C-alpha cells in the first residue's frame, strides 16, 4: 500500500499541459485548443488536456488501422503479445503510486480504494489477458470426411473504447487489455473530467514495447470526440461504459455509420435486500453502507436501493445509521479518509437536485443531504439516507451516481422480488440471508448481471461483469470478455 509520505510528494507534482497520444507519441490537438483539469479536492485547476476534435479522432483511427494492416501486432504470435503485455502490466504496477495519486487528483476517489481499484486492478487485468491469449485455440468442425471445416478466431480490427470518470483505469483496462491481447488496435476516448491516467497508461504501454499506433488516446469532450469515434466509418467496434443516454447515442451512431458492433455497460439502481435471518445484521449494515457510500456512491454496481424486511427494520436502520455516520469524508489523498470527493462540482449539484426532489416527493431524510467541507473549495457530500421511499419516487427509479441511499421495507420474499425487479435496470444486487434455499431462489429470481449473497460488491477478474435490461449488454472481465474482441472465420476446404 502507498504511504502518506509518498502521497504528499506526489500530490505536488507538476502535471502541465497534456497532448493526445497518437501513433506512439504525444501530439497537440489539431485546433491547438485545450481544456482545464480541475481537481475536486480543492476546486482548483492543476493541469490541462488537449481538446481533441473529429480530425484528431480520424488521425488516431488512421494510425490504428495502419498498425493493424501492418500486422506487427495483429498478426504477431500470441506469445509475443503476451510478452509485451506482461511487461506493460509490470510497468503499471511499478508506477502504481504515481498513477493512483494522479487519478485521485483528477476524480477525487479516496486513495485507499483508488490504489487497489485503479493501477493495481488495471495491472492485474492486463496480466490476466496476457496470460490467456496463448491458450485460445481455433476449432475443427465435425464435418463429413471429404471436407475440412476450420474455425479461425481473428481480431476485429480497430476498437474504440469510451469510459466514464469513476474508475477510468480499471474500466479502461477491462476493455483495452482483452482487445489488445486479441490483436486489435485501439483508440481510447477518456472521460473529459478524468483523462490523465489513461494518457499515462498509453505511455507505459509504449515503453513496454507496444508498436506505435496500436494504442492511441484522444482526449476532449464526449459530444465531440466520442461522437466522432462512434460515427467513424473505419472503427469496427465500440466498447462503452457510461450512462444510458450516451449508450443509446452510440447505437444510433452505429446505425448511421458502418454498423459497427457496440458493447454497452450502463448504469444501475441495484437492490440490496436484507432478510430478517441475515447471518449478522451489524456486519450487513457496515457492508451495505460501504456498498453505497465508498467513492461517494460513484460506483456502477452501488447498492442504491436498500430493501429491509419489516421485522428487523428498526434494528437494521440503527446499525446502518451508526455505520454511515462513522464514515469519515475528507481529503481523498488522506489515507484516513473513508470517502473522498464527488468527482466534480456539476455532479455534486446533480446529487443535491436528487436530494431536493426526494424530500419534495415525501421521502424522510435520515442523515446527510448536504454539501460539506465547503471551506476546502472541493466537492464533498455527506453520505445521505432517505427512508419511506416508494416505487413511484424519482429516488427509487433513477440512478443518482452519488452518495444517496433510498430505503424501503418489505414483508415477504415475494414482495422483495417484486420491488427488486421493478426497475428498468439490471446490473447488480445483493441478498442477505442465512437460509440457503432463500439465497438460491433469490439468485434465480432477481433480474441482474450479478447477485451477491451475504456481501456486497466483491468480485475479481475471473468473473464477468455486465447488466441485463437497460444496464446494457456484453460482459467485461473473465475469459468471456475476449469473445467480444475476436471474430470467427470459417474455412471450408474440399479434400
Ligand atoms: P457518460 O455517459 O456521461 O460518459 C461516459 C463517456 O462517454 C465519457 O467518456 C464521455 O466523454 C463520453 N460521451 C459523452 N457524450 C458522448 C457522446 N455524445 N458520444 C460519445 N461519447 C460520449 O457517463 P459518466 O457520467 O462518465 O459515468 C457515469 C455513468 O457510467 C453512470 O450511469 C454509471 O452507472 C455508468 N457506469 C457503468 C459501469 C458498468 O460497468 N456498468 C461502470 C462505471 C460507470
Distances (CA, A) of 276 to 85, 319, 451: 48, 14, 18
Q: Which atom of ligand 1 is nearest to the CA of 221?
A: 11
* Alpha helices, DSSP H, located in 146-258: 168-181, 196-207, 227-231, 244-256
Separation of CA 264 and ligand 1 centre (Å): 10
Strand ranges, E, within 59-175 = 139-140, 147-155, 158-162
Separation of CA 163 and ligand 1 centre (Å): 6
What is the DSSP code (8-state) at residue 395?
Answer: H
Q: What is the pLDDT of residue 465?
A: 97
Integer Cα distance of 331 and 101 in angstroms: 12
Integer Cα distance of 188 and 175 in angstroms: 10
Q: What whole-number percentage of the chain has pLDDT above 90?
A: 99
Q: How far is CA 292 from the centre of its chain?
A: 15
Cell of 60: 488516431
Q: What is the mean pLDDT of the chain?
A: 98
Q: What is the pLDDT of residue 161?
A: 99
For the chain, state the CA radius of gyration: 23
Nearest residue CA, atom 43 of ligand 1? 300
Q: Which atom of ligand 1 is nearest to the CA of 247?
A: 2
**Could you tell me if 100 and 13 are in contact, meaning their C-beta atoms sit under 8 angstroms apart?**
no
Q: What is the mean pLDDT of residues 444-452?
A: 98
Burial of residue 374 (CB within 10 Å: 0-12, 13-18, 19+) is exposed
Look at residue 293 and tell me whether its pLDDT is greater than 90. yes
Cell of 144: 463429413
Ligand 1 in reach of 227 Cβ (< 6 A): yes
Integer Cα distance of 97 and 476 in angstroms: 25
Residue to probe by mutation, ligand 1, list 169, 243, 305, most atoms within 8 Å of CB: 243
Q: What is the pLDDT of residue 364?
A: 98
**Tens of pLDDT along 151-197?**
999 999 999 999 999 999 999 999 999 999 999 999 999 999 999 99
Ligand 1 in reach of 164 Cβ (< 6 A): yes
Look at residue 483 and tell me whether its pLDDT is greater than 90. yes
107 φ/ψ sector (left φ>0, alpha ψ -120 to 50, else beta): alpha
Ligand 1 in reach of 238 Cβ (< 6 A): no
The bridge status of strand 45-50 relative to strand 271-274 is: unpaired
Nearest C-alpha neighbor of 452 from the set 198, 278, 197: 278
Catalytic positions: 265
Look at residue 458 and tell me whether its pLDDT is greater than 90. no
Q: What whole-number percentage of the chain has pLDDT above 70?
A: 100
Strand ranges, E, within 400-458 = 404-410, 430-432, 452-453
**Tens of pLDDT along 34-73?**
999 999 999 999 999 999 999 999 999 999 999 999 999 9
Ligand 1 in reach of 241 Cβ (< 6 A): yes
Separation of CA 309 and ligand 1 centre (Å): 34
Q: Which atom of ligand 1 is nearest to the CA of 245?
A: 2
Burial of residue 443 (CB within 10 Å: 0-12, 13-18, 19+) is middle
Ligand 1 in reach of 122 Cβ (< 6 A): no
**Tens of pLDDT along 221-267?**
999 999 999 999 999 999 999 999 999 999 999 999 999 999 999 99
Q: What is the pLDDT of residue 157?
A: 98
* 448 φ/ψ angles, rounded to the nearest 5 degrees: -160, 160
Q: What is the mean pLDDT of residues 18-26?
A: 98
Look at residue 92 and tell me whether its pLDDT is greater than 90. yes
**Could you tell me if 166 and 154 are in contact, meaning their C-beta atoms sit under 8 angstroms apart?**
no
**Could you tell me if 261 and 238 are in contact, meaning their C-beta atoms sit under 8 angstroms apart?**
yes
Angle between helices 121-132 and 168-181 (to 10 degrees): 10
Nearest residue CA, atom 18 of ligand 1? 223
Q: What is the pLDDT of residue 466?
A: 97
Ligand 1 in reach of 219 Cβ (< 6 A): no
Q: What is the pLDDT of residue 246?
A: 98
Ligand 1 in reach of 160 Cβ (< 6 A): no
Count, residues in the chain: 495
Ligand 1 in reach of 175 Cβ (< 6 A): no
Q: What is the pLDDT of residue 206?
A: 98
Q: What is the mean pLDDT of residues 458-481?
A: 96
Amino acid at each position: 500500500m502507498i504511504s502518506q509520505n509518498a502521497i504528499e510528494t506526489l500530490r505536488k507534482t507538476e502535471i502541465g499541459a497534456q497532448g493526445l497520444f497518437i501513433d506512439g507519441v504525444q501530439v497537440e490537438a489539431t485546433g491547438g485548443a485545450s481544456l482545464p483539469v480541475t481537481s475536486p479536492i480543492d476546486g482548483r485547476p492543476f493541469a490541462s488536456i488537449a481538446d481533441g476534435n473529429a480530425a484528431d479522432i480520424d488521425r488516431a483511427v488512421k494510425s490504428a488501422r495502419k498498425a493493424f494492416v501492418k500486422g506487427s501486432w495483429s498478426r504477431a504470435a500470441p506469445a509475443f503479445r503476451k510478452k509485451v503485455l506482461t511487461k506493460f502490466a509490470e510497468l503499471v504496477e511499478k508506477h502504481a503510486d504515481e498513477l493512483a495519486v494522479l487519478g485521485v487528483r483528477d476524480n477525487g476517489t479516496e486513495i485507499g480504494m483508488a490504489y487497489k481499484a485503479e493501477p493495481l486492478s488495471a495491472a492485474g487485468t492486463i496480466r490476466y489477458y496476457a496470460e490467456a491469449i496463448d491458450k485460445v485455440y481455433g476449432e475443427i468442425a465435425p464435418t463429413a470426411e471429404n471436407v475440412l471445416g476450420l474455425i479461425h478466431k481473428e481480431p476485429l480490427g480497430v476498437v474504440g473504447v469510451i469510459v466514464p470518470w469513476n474508475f477510468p483505469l480499471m474500466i479502461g483496462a477491462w476493455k483495452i487489455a482483452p482487445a489488445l491481447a486479441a490483436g486489435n488496435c485501439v483508440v481510447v476516448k477518456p472521460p473529459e473530467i478524468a483523462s490523465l491516467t489513461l494518457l499515462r497508461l498509453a505511455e507505459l504501454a509504449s515503453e513496454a514495447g507496444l508498436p506505435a499506433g496500436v494504442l492511441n488516446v484522444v482526449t476532449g469532450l464526449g459530444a465531440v470526440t466520442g461522437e466522432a469515434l462512434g460515427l467513424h466509418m473505419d472503427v469496427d467496434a465500440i466498447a462503452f461504459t457510461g450512462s444510458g443516454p450516451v449508450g443509446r447515442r452510440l447505437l444510433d451512431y452505429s446505425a448511421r455509420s458502418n454498423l459497427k458492433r457496440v458493447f454497452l455497460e450502463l448504469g444501475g439502481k441495484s437492490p440490496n435486500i436484507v432478510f430478517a435471518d441475515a447471518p449478522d445484521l451489524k456486519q450487513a449494515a457496515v457492508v451495505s453502507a460501504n456498498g453505497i457510500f465508498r467513492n461517494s456512491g460513484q460506483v456502477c454496481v452501488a447498492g442504491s436501493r436498500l430493501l429491509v424486511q419489516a421485522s428487523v427494520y428498526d434494528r437494521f436502520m440503527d446499525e446502518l445509521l451508526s455505520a454511515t455516520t462513522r464514515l469519515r469524508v475528507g481529503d481523498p489523498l488522506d489515507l484516513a479518509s473513508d470517502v473522498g470527493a464527488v468527482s466534480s462540482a456539476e455532479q455534486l449539484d446533480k446529487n443535491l437536485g436528487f436530494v431536493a426532489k426526494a424530500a419534495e416527493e415525501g421521502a424522510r431524510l435520515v442523515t446527510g443531504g448536504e454539501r460539506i467541507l465547503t471551506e476546502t473549495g472541493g466537492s464533498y457530500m455527506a453520505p445521505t439516507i432517505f427512508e419511506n421511499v416508494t416505487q413511484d419516487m424519482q429516488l427509487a427509479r433513477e440512478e443518482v451516481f452519488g452518495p444517496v441511499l433510498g430505503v424501503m421495507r418489505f414483508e415477504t420474499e415475494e414482495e422483495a422480488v417484486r420491488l427488486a425487479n421493478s426497475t428498468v435496470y439490471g446490473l447488480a444486487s445483493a441478498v442477505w440471508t442465512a437460509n440457503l434455499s432463500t439465497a438460491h431462489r433469490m439468485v434465480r429470481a432477481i433480474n441482474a448481471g450479478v447477485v451477491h449473497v451475504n456481501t456486497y460488491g466483491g468480485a475479481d477478474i475471473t468473473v464477468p461483469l455486465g447488466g441485463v435490461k437497460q444496464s446494457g449488454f456484453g460482459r467485461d472481465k473473465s475469459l468471456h470478455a475476449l469473445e467480444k474482441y475476436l471474430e470467427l472465420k470459417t474455412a471450408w476446404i474440399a479434400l
